[in-house]
């Protein structure tokens, strides 16, 4: 089982001011349409060449539309780069929009 957290858990951690890196693995046009404030775009297809941008020393939450691509990214980063600080946003930005921040557009 790969580690994940709910949108509510992520929101609570951000509200507490935890230093969390947010990596969005969607496509640029999806990211341009809606995103979680403070997230950084690294499309899934660029992850292999940009993995060094992920800070191994702080919690990192991977985000996509529904949680599938981000889970793939998490599995890849754990396996190939031996990162142990990763969490998948369960339900992706869609769940974030519905359950935490309705100002983030749904698509």
Tell me whether residue 94 is in a domain.
yes
Residue 17 DSSP label: T
pLDDT band per the 50, 70, 90 thresholds, residue 26 = very high
What whole-number percentage of the chain has pLDDT above 90? Answer: 98
pLDDT band per the 50, 70, 90 thresholds, residue 2 = confident
Average pLDDT over residues 89-98: 98
* Cα of 53 vs its chain's centroid, Å: 14
Q: What is the pLDDT at residue 21?
A: 98
Tell me whether residue 107 is in a domain.
no
Tell me whether residue 38 is in a domain.
yes
1: pLDDT strictly greater than 90: no
Tell me whether residue 20 is in a domain.
yes
Q: Is 34 a catalytic residue?
A: no
Maximum Cα interatomic distance, the chain, rounded to a whole number of Å: 36
Which of 20, 54, 63, 64 is an active site residue? Answer: 64
Average pLDDT over residues 4-27: 98
* Contacts of 90 by beta carbon, 8 Å cutoff, 6+ apart: 4, 5, 6, 7, 67
Q: What is the pLDDT at residue 18?
A: 97
Count of structural domains within the chain: 1
């Amino acid at each position: 089982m790969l580690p994940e957290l709910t949108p509510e858990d992520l929101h609570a951690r951000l509200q507490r001011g935890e230093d969390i890196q947010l990596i969005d693995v969607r496509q640029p046009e999806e990211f341009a349409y809606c995103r979680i404030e403070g997230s950084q775009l690294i499309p899934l297809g660029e992850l292999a060449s940009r993995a060094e941008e992920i800070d191994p020393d702080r919690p990192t939450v991977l985000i996509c539309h529904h949680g599938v691509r981000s889970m793939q990214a998490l599995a890849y980063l754990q396996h190939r780069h031996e990162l142990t600080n990763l969490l998948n946003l369960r339900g992706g930005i869609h769940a974030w929009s519905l359950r935490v921040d309705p100002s983030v557009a749904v698509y």
